[in-house]
Amino acid sequence: MSLAGLSVAAGLALMAWPAFRHSVFVQVNGAPPWVATVWGATVGAALHNAHVDVYPQDKVFPGLDAPLKDGLLIQVWPARPVEIHAADVVLVILTAERVPANILRTAGFRLYAGDQVLADGLPVDPQAEAPASGFQVLELRPTLATRLTRDKETLRLFSPGPTLAQALQDNQIKLYASDLLQPPPETLLVEGLTAGLASGQVITVQIGERSITTRAAGATVGQALASAGLSLQGLDYSIPAEGLQLPSDGKIRVVRVREEIALEQTLLAFETQLQPMPEVEIDTLQVVQAGEYGLKAQRVRIRFEDGEEVSRSVEDEWVARQPVARVQGYGTKIVIRTANTPDGTIEYWRAVEVYATSYAPANAGTPVDAPNYGITYSGQPLRKGHIAVIRSWYPYLAGWSFYVPGYGIGTVADIGGGFPDRHWIDLGYTDAEYVAWHEYVTLYFLTPVPPEDQILWVLP
């Protein structure tokens, strides 16, 4: 070709060049698009000129053969590996598809109503596109049928699982902590699984002053309490008893019982022994040996119900320490003395302070028409000079002579009631001579001294 021809050809080429040049937008994997000035007639040529590598598994829109035009948006979705778990099969495919259902279909798995699809462990809509970041693991959980007997009702549950608890939740069956489910909630679902659900009943449990309303499962009181976390412990008991059927109103009383073992001690009284002392004058007392209390120990079982003591029983008892007797010495030496009185000189061998009262037939308490009216215990008619003493003194003093200042000489001839806290005598009178007495006096025991076996050495 001549030089002129070459110039013409070059000019024609330059005139044709703008026809193959385009400004387009390129977006890769959902990233923000960028502007590329490319040469070529198709999308494939444009991507090549823009240095975007495209592989057979990649997804390009519009297609590689689509014609170019200015402002065209070219989207490229690079293929990536996806691990698929379905029907006990694990496989990895390379795909640019972003819709889970399409990916599963490409791998040969069909989706049915109720099937669950998880992407990277999270439930997803199988018909919705994945985000630009995509996912690495796709799991298909097909719907499984479970036969559930709830109380007296039989249901068919459909759920992809993976557990029986999930199947209940998918079928809007609420499971309470008190419900009894067999097999347990964590059981993995398999096609044709059969389960039983015993629904809990609302119960009200009274424990002391506290009332608890909760749900519980079980046919008996004991089972219901156990399922509610209120089971009987140790000696506890319930009303109704734990082996009886759960009452229809759900009311149960629980009595908390505890027992304690206590060691109790009781003092043992000591006795007083009397010992004569010949060198000590009568009516003188001396302690020869001090008494000591003994100690009795008991092991006692005490039962409490709801914090209140209801019973106690002695399981064992023993004498931890024996009592020691108190020895009281009493004088037996008799000294005869004399005393000058308004009634003359008296000779006596004993003198005791006593509280003196007086009485006559009219105030002795005997009816006037009674056969024994005015008669003393000795059988004599009451008169001045008769003295009454308490019953324990009478056998020793009956018939003895005494001198009472202001009264004179008298003889014990009657029995009276006396006072528990003092020595006492009652001075006798006839009704006509009666004089009221209420005072302490000295009672002189007149000689002769009686034989020793007739002497009351210690006056009670």
**Which tens digit of pLDDT belongs to each residue from 335-373?**
999 999 999 999 999 999 999 999 999 998 899 999 999
Burial state string for 143-159 with b = 16 or more CB within 10 A and e = fewer than 16: bbebebebeeeeeebeb
Overall average pLDDT of the 227-244 stretch: 90
Burial state string for 371-407 with b = 16 or more CB within 10 A and e = fewer than 16: eeebbbbbeeebebebbbbbeebbebbbebbbbbeeb
Amino acid at 37: T
The answer to whether residue 161 scores a pLDDT higher than 90 is: no
Give the model's confidence band at 9: pLDDT under 50 very low, under 70 low, under 90 confident, else very high: very low
Burial state string for 70-107 with b = 16 or more CB within 10 A and e = fewer than 16: eebebebbbbbebebebeeeeeebebbbbebbebbeeb
Overall average pLDDT of the 237-241 stretch: 94
List Cβ neighbours of 61 (8 Å cut-off, separation of 6 or more).
74, 75, 77
Q: What domains appear along the chain, each with residue ranges and CATH number?
A: 21-77 (3.10.20), 80-141 (3.10.20.90), 144-198 (3.10.20.90), 201-255 (no CATH), 260-331 (2.20.230.10), 334-454 (2.40.40)
Q: Indicate the helix (H) or strand (E) that contains 170.
A: helix 164-170
CA distance 309 to 207: 16
pLDDT at residue number 6: 35
pLDDT at residue number 394: 97
**Which tens digit of pLDDT belongs to each residue from 43-61?**
988 888 888 989 888 889 9
Nearest to 216 by CA among 198, 242, 191, 195: 198
CA distance 338 to 332: 19
CA distance 80 to 29: 11
pLDDT at residue number 381: 96
CA distance 207 to 380: 77
pLDDT at residue number 320: 92
Least confident piece of the model among 2-6, 77-81, 381-385, 456-460 = 2-6
Q: Is 348 exposed, middle or buried (0-12, 13-18, 19+ CB in 10 A)?
A: buried
pLDDT at residue number 93: 87
Provide the terminal-to-terminal Cα distance of the chain, rounded to the nearest Å. 172
pLDDT at residue number 8: 37
The answer to whether residue 317 scores a pLDDT higher than 80 is: yes
Is residue 150 classed as helix, strand or coil in its secondary structure?
Answer: strand
Least confident piece of the model among 200-204, 311-315, 336-340 = 200-204
Amino acid at 306: D
